[in-house]
Structure 1
Amino acid sequence: MDPLVIQTVAATQADNFGSAPSNRKPAGPLLGDGASTTDGHIWKRSRELLQPVFSRSQVSQLSGLESHLQRFLERIPRDGSTIDIQPLAQELFLDSSMEFIFGKSSGSLSPSEQTAEAKQFSEDFDEGLRGMRNNYMTDKFSWLVGPDKKWLAQCAKIHVTLNGYIDEEVRFQKQSKLPGASSKITYGSSGYQHVLLKELVSKYPDDKTLTRNELMNVFFAARDPIGTITSNMLFLLARSPESWGKLREEVAAIAPEQELTFEFLKSLKYVQAVIDEPLRLIHPVDRAWRTCLSTCILPRGGGNSVNDPILLQPGDQIKLIYGCMHKDKDIWGDDASKSNPDRMVRLKHSWKFIPFSGGRRTCPAQQDTYTDMAYFLVRMVQEFKTIRNRDDCLEYVEEYVMTKSSRNGVKVAFLAKYGSLVIGNL
């Protein structure tokens, strides 16, 4: 995939391309109109609504993640026993994303504390995603099979649950404004300063559909990818003792009194490189579809050499496959398919590496994801001396639903770090 073509579609000529024609029909019944399914002024409004939640002040606040991380660590054997870390990582970030978006955790890391409602919502959403995937697979032939009534009923069931969350928050905010009540909204036990549900209800108390659509679009984007990215990172680290050793050196240099803030975590060069390498090699969402909205010319892609300009007409679709570009030997060298975090230490920002897309549709949660993963990685290195692979299959075998994950899981073993460990101010 040509970086110049991606830059043209995503930035230089972004007005000529849209996401809605490819996404609204297969995803709309579940997600509604939001950042993932719309273009134009509706998309712009969605982006503006999300900014407070993904602001720098938000990503600087990590106490919410730490509480879930403690439960995650309790589930990991410290004696070298084998564990599949992939489902645990997904549960960790399911819990934190639920709290981040709805103000309440799903409790999946603590089954004894998980409510029946939270468990049912998670199961319902999984079923909704499977139906949405089928829509994308049938695509232009969907008229042959007709509407999936069972899936549409599942979407309605999910919407009823979210409507209940919204109604509860509307009542709470109205009560907080009654005479004698505190004028400041209390955020309960959540470790997050900005909760999306509360932000949306505060701005649009009478528009339940808008609030639900935004919640669905953000939850869809946040639910699985970061957990999968994290487990992919551990997949590579378990197969590279040298990389783990370099991580230990960088983390060991952190002063005990150093707080793990957004700014500090961003300064840890090797930590950031270890995050970037799985984003390059095995990103769970490594492509995007765009539809041409008006006649335009792409700088390359035509002719026998595919280096000539190419004319696009309204309705033409283009698939942006970042994953191919991220493993292109002409860009990354002959070892492009091998994991080597050192290459990412020297990386300069360009359109050759865009794990969170680029241009105005860059994922608004990009910095939030980097911060959470860096925090997770530092804490894991502080807790454990080593990580070892426990899978006979060394290669990454893909399994795809709406995101790409490891079909074999991520079977690893950890040895606890005893004695001299000093954990900084959290």
Structure 2
Amino acid sequence: MFGAIFLVGWSLCALVIYSLISSFVRRRQHARLARQLGCEPPPILPTGFLGIRRAITMMKAQQKRQLQDAFLNERNAMQKMGKPCNTLKVEFLNQTLMVTYDPKNVQALLATQFKDFALGPIRFGGFYPLLGTGIFSTDGSAWEHSRTMLRPQFARSQVEDTAVEEYHLQNFMQALQVGPDGCADVEDIQTLFFRLTMDSATEMLFGESLDTQLSEMPGATVSMTRNGLRERDFAAAFDKAQYIISEGFRLNELYWIYQGRELKNACKNVHDFADYFVKRALNQEFGEKRTIEDGKKEKYVFLEALAADIRDPRKLRDELLSILTAGRDTTAALLGYLWYSLAKDPVRYTKLRQTAIDHFGTYQHPKPITFTGLKNCAYLQYCMNETLRLFPVVPLNSRRAVRDTSIPVGGGADGKSPVFVPKDTEVNYYVHVMHRMKEIWGPDVEDWKPERFENRKSGWEYLPFNGGPRICLGQQSALTKAGYTTVRLLQRFERVEPVDLEPQLRHKVTLTSRLYPGLHLRLFEASG
């Protein structure tokens, strides 16, 4: 018995000694390689014992819906200490990671040193319960295959088709009931935007819309034909799953703590609902290709097109849900933030409305609203660009080093030397902070000022849709849908007023960011 205890004790001691020696050797190797690369250490963000203080700060900020403000506060605190503040070393729950806001480093992560970084196991493990092996969770050859399969589905010919948008836009307009005073009092227009984009996205992806806008109208009945699940239940489960996954990501390596029964149930509801459409596509039960209202043009269905190349039902579902996540949330969040900004700025609202009418006519007598026309409507583009600058829909992101490497700047006393990044280090980049740096955007950085994009050619300091090989495939689709919806609203309503705005803007951050708790507007209908 004594011999067994002695053996176990000796084994533990040997393991500890081996770990200490390995750590010492690894640190020496890293120091030598860092010197060879000309690297200097970055400033260290004070986070308290084991980073617990920072973890608590971030949890409280998320509960108050002020997570983006917490990121800004960290940089401001380092500035006040007189230290370089665009790249930081952070201890977080006994994990060492990097945080950067520097455009040069972001460019390295996403483009020039693309092969040195990947999404990594945290992203894959966190997304897997909902999105499986879809394009937003995989790396390497699996990601390349997904990209190859999905890219043709975002061809310009698909983005240009606005006929479906108008159908769902009219359902959206029905929800904006105008009273005898000519005003539509909309308690939360952001919710209506999310229903609009869910309906539009599912029409394009599934082949038929969930019609959540119509199902929420007074007196509407809700069908239960998709594996016994209602449309509204699918949407609720989809939101719930995204929220839980995002909460797990705040814990970095400990993301799995949030992957309990609640997440499993939400994902099961989402998957069961999507499987109904996947099965139909694989069994070719759609019959003849449907046509849009003019009876001439073949209706495009993403799932049917993708099923021609992907026959694995699980893989097909993973890609379908990945694109739905991006297609619905990005456009709806952009619309919410855009109309929040317009409602607070009546002068620019009037200017944009007149621009829209000049280009596209009135609500009752519209001119064709095309992809090209929207892109050529410069002031509309400026307004959307400025909205995405102040309120990027994906405010934070990350990459993981797949080998010992470096990033271009952030080290040393002046912050201009390269920074050594050991293998398996998470590097977080905060787009929200980068978009609000005075040294890039000027002293009026906090102001919504669309004119700042006039004659501006943006680089890596402006990143609303990511960049490099993994740049968002659907960015033109999102901008087209948001622009189309905005033009039609501008045509119909000559004035807009915000109601009960909170003194400080708050955000609900899941996999994307949106206004919290919503947006109450009064919209005044134009005469004639």
Contact 2:132–2:318 (Cα < 8 Å) also in 1: yes
41-50 vs 132-141, which moves further: 132-141
Q: Which of 414, 420, 432 matches 1:311?
A: 420
Match of 1:228, as an amino acid? A
- 2-structure distance, mates of 1:386, 1:283: 26
Question: Where in structure 2 are there 5+ consecutive unaligned residues?
Answer: 1-100, 225-229
The aligned residue for residue 148 of structure 1 is 260
Q: Which of 102, 108, 133 matches 2:246?
A: 133
Contact 1:61–1:193 (Cα < 8 Å) also in 2: no
The secondary structure found in structure 2 opposite 1:288 is strand
**Correspondence 1:294 to 2:399:** no
Shift of 1:171: 2.3
Contact 1:22–1:290 (Cα < 8 Å) also in 2: no
The aligned residue for residue 206 of structure 2 is 102
Residues 382-425 of structure 1: per-residue CA shift (max 9 Å, x gap):
11111112224354222323322222421111111112xxxxxx
**Correspondence 1:161 to 2:270:** no
- 1-structure distance, mates of 2:270, 2:193: 24
Match of 2:223, as an amino acid? T
Q: Mark the CA change 1:321 to 1:137 in structure 2 (over 3 Å): closer, same or farther.
A: closer
The aligned residue for residue 118 of structure 2 is 18
- 2-structure distance, mates of 1:43, 1:412: 42
- 2-structure distance, mates of 1:146, 1:217: 20
Q: Which of 193, 196, 216 matches 1:89?
A: 193
Match of 2:307, as an amino acid? V
The aligned residue for residue 20 of structure 2 is none
- 2-structure distance, mates of 1:118, 1:19: 32
- 2-structure distance, mates of 1:413, 1:37: 40
The aligned residue for residue 424 of structure 1 is none
The aligned residue for residue 513 of structure 2 is 404
Residues 170-221 of structure 1: per-residue CA shift (max 9 Å, x gap):
2235x85xxxxx6xx446789984322111212223x111101111211122
The aligned residue for residue 262 of structure 1 is 371
> Larger Rg: 1 or 2?
2
The aligned residue for residue 246 of structure 1 is 351
Contact 2:246–2:509 (Cα < 8 Å) also in 1: no
- 1-structure distance, mates of 2:352, 2:165: 21
**Correspondence 1:76 to 2:176:** yes
Match of 2:211, as an amino acid? G
- 2-structure distance, mates of 1:122, 1:305: 49
- 1-structure distance, mates of 2:405, 2:501: 50
85-94 vs 401-410, which moves further: 401-410
Contact 2:494–2:526 (Cα < 8 Å) also in 1: yes
Shift of 1:130: 3.0
Q: Mark the CA change 1:223 to 1:253 in structure 2 (over 3 Å): closer, same or farther.
A: closer
* Superposition pairs of residues 221-232 of structure 1, within 5 angstroms: 221-232=326-337
The secondary structure found in structure 1 opposite 2:409 is strand
Match of 1:47, as an amino acid? R
The aligned residue for residue 134 of structure 2 is 34
- 1-structure distance, mates of 2:457, 2:471: 17
- 2-structure distance, mates of 1:381, 1:396: 24
The aligned residue for residue 197 of structure 1 is 303
Question: What is the number of equivalent residue pairs in this alignment?
Answer: 409
Q: Mark the CA change 1:53 to 1:335 in structure 2 (over 3 Å): closer, same or farther.
A: same
Residues 273-293 of structure 1: per-residue CA shift (max 9 Å, x gap):
111111010123122110011
Match of 1:165, as an amino acid? F
The aligned residue for residue 285 of structure 1 is 394
The secondary structure found in structure 2 opposite 1:64 is helix
- 2-structure distance, mates of 1:285, 1:278: 13
The aligned residue for residue 179 of structure 1 is none
Residues 135-186 of structure 1: per-residue CA shift (max 9 Å, x gap):
323432356x58524423432343232222111122235x85xxxxx6xx44
Shift of 1:113: 5.5
Q: Which of 386, 393, 398 matches 2:495?
A: 386
Q: Mark the CA change 1:338 to 1:273 in structure 2 (over 3 Å): closer, same or farther.
A: same
RMSD (CA atoms): 2.2
- 1-structure distance, mates of 2:251, 2:291: 43
Contact 1:127–1:154 (Cα < 8 Å) also in 2: yes
Contact 2:407–2:418 (Cα < 8 Å) also in 1: yes
The secondary structure found in structure 1 opposite 2:407 is strand
- 1-structure distance, mates of 2:315, 2:238: 19
- 1-structure distance, mates of 2:503, 2:485: 24
Residues 47-93 of structure 1: per-residue CA shift (max 9 Å, x gap):
11212221111111011111111011111133234312111111111
- 2-structure distance, mates of 1:31, 1:371: 25
- 2-structure distance, mates of 1:200, 1:311: 42
Match of 2:303, as an amino acid? L
Shift of 1:6: 0.8
The aligned residue for residue 6 of structure 1 is 106
**Correspondence 1:235 to 2:320:** no
Q: Mark the CA change 1:23 to 1:98 in structure 2 (over 3 Å): closer, same or farther.
A: same
Shift of 1:114: 4.2
Match of 2:155, as an amino acid? S
Q: Mark the CA change 1:164 to 1:301 in structure 2 (over 3 Å): closer, same or farther.
A: same
- 2-structure distance, mates of 1:266, 1:113: 39
Residues 310-335 of structure 1: per-residue CA shift (max 9 Å, x gap):
11121011111111111111111100
Q: Which of 57, 62, 66 matches 2:166?
A: 66
Q: Mark the CA change 1:193 to 1:352 in structure 2 (over 3 Å): closer, same or farther.
A: farther
- 2-structure distance, mates of 1:187, 1:211: 24
Q: Which of 102, 121, 131 matches 2:234?
A: 121
TM-score (norm 2): 0.73
Contact 2:375–2:381 (Cα < 8 Å) also in 1: yes
- 2-structure distance, mates of 1:4, 1:322: 13
294-303 vs 333-342, which moves further: 294-303
Match of 1:172, as an amino acid? Q
The secondary structure found in structure 1 opposite 2:359 is coil
- 1-structure distance, mates of 2:392, 2:236: 24
